[in-house]
Amino acid sequence: MNTKLNRSEWHRSIYSSRWTSEGVNSLEVMEPATGELLDIVGLASKHHVYEAAEAAVSVQRRWADTAPGTRAAILRRAAALFEERKPEILEILMRESGSIMPKAEFEFASVISELHEAAALTTQPEGLLLPSGSPTRLSIARRVPIGVVGVITPWNLPLALAVRSIAPAVALGNAVILKPDPKTPISGGLIIAQIFQDAGLPAGVLSVLPGGAEVGDAIVRHPDIPMISFTGSTVTGKMIARIAGESLKKVSLELGGNNALIVLDDADLERATSAAAYGSFLHQGQVCVAVGRHIVHRKIAAQFAEMLAARAKNLPVGDPYRENVALGPIISQQQIEKIDEFVKSTATAGARLLTGGKYDKLFYQPTVLTDVLPGMPTFDYEVFGPVASITVFDDDEQAVDLANRGDYGLSSAVQSRSLDRAIAISRGIKAGMVHVNDQTIVYEAHAPFGGVKNSGNGSRYGSPTNHEEFTTLQWVTTNEVIPAYPF
């Protein structure tokens, strides 16, 4: 078997039961660091969604009936193929999404973990033995596949955020139609299609359809796609929930976050500012669980701000594929202008800019703002860029109140030398995840991942929640003979 990626397969093509260019438009994939053309792939239309759904429905039942060990073996084989092709995949992640090497390595490792965790799902208990009102009736609740799952993913961690839905869905007997973001169609989808095909996944179980809003809308509305797994913006997620709700579809939403890091007055400032810089500036802040708001005790706020700004000034920015840098490019001109507007409007509102606030081409300097108050843009909204906003508090109750301000509730963190004090504060934080003596970008494939409020509809990803998320309970009763009834 070929141990390298076959890039010619996805050139001007999509994957729907097979590689095809029939009726497919062209999608140019650009390298944000240089503006160079990386490749031309296929751009799907809603017509391809209908074709993929028909194929998925026809094959899904047979796939669900496939022995659990066989399904698990395909997932483990996919993990092995990812490992064999790792150097090429890391290159594509760096060039297509602007990842620095450590971020690409982190994302890749997450994919391998997801595949192995999903393989283990196939042999987990499938249901419950229930008590029955009749001594002759056997009553069970068994978990059965939902059917066809539509997966819509973003560009920031394109590979990992696709596999974390595809792997458990497929492991549990579902078929999947994936729409990767058109900014990252290769790392976000076409690589996955090729590896699963080479691993032996039957045709039709997975389709990969790069496309825009038309394709996403068709997936959400299609009557034969009973579940939607979406990762992306809160605005789009709410729109998907409204449309899917009309058809009573199951919807899994992991949305935006403006995550809070609370730093208490007894924290180790050297370690705290290191973690804070990582949390705000990894992948240029283009991570839903990045630290947006640094909520710092007044006693240490000035020193914290000075140390964080010094770290930011020392972080090199540039082309992550050709240079040794800490930050790569922002994904697009539209996004970098949005980031800059957040920074400028927050400074105009009274915050102090300690460092950054400048950009060249698609490279935005790591930025630190202090004296940020509720009501200012970077406090209230998700920036999705390398911007750290510092807000001061005076007591623990105020820290919790500030952390809970706003519409988001994805990730959070608390730092203190007093573990009891930090844990007490963490109990009051309204977020899907909280990390004590850490920063907010923490991910493990076996742990539940998700948010509350405008950050999503709960901890949907991560075993064992994946087993519940991608199946539905079916009540089954059996009798040796038909009971006697009075009619």
Q: Which residues are catalytic?
A: 254, 288
Which amino acid belongs to residue 44? A
Output the six-digit token pair for 371. Answer: 């004296």
Strand (E) or helix (H) holding 180: none
Residue 21 and residue 207 in contact, taking contact as beta carbons nearer than 8 Å: no
**Nearest to residue 46, comparing CAs of 215, 183, 184, 186?**
215
- Compute the distance between CA of residue 237 and CA of residue 218 in angstroms, rounded to an integer: 15
- Compute the distance between CA of residue 336 and CA of residue 389 in angstroms, rounded to an integer: 17
Residue 259 and residue 384 in contact, taking contact as beta carbons nearer than 8 Å: no
> Counting runs of H as helices and runs of E as strands, what totals does the chain give?
16, 24
Question: What string of DSSP letters covers 390-445?
Answer: EEEESSHHHHHHHHH-SSEES-EEEE-S-HHHHHHHHTT--SS--EETS-S----T
Helices (H), 349-376: none
Which amino acid belongs to residue 185? P
- Compute the distance between CA of residue 435 and CA of residue 442 in angstroms, rounded to an integer: 8
Output the six-digit token pair for 9. Answer: 């397969």
388 φ, ψ (degrees, to nearest 5): -110, 120
φ/ψ bin of 471: left (φ > 0), alpha (ψ from -120 to 50), beta (otherwise): beta
3-state percent helix, strand, coil for the chain, nearest multiple of 5: 40, 25, 35
Strands (E), 325-371: 352-355, 359-360, 363-364, 367-370
- Compute the distance between CA of residue 52 and CA of residue 62 in angstroms, rounded to an integer: 16
Cα distances (angstroms) measured from residue 167 to each of 285, 331, 351, 354, 355: 26, 26, 44, 44, 42
Sign of torsion over alpha carbons 316, 317, 323, 324: positive
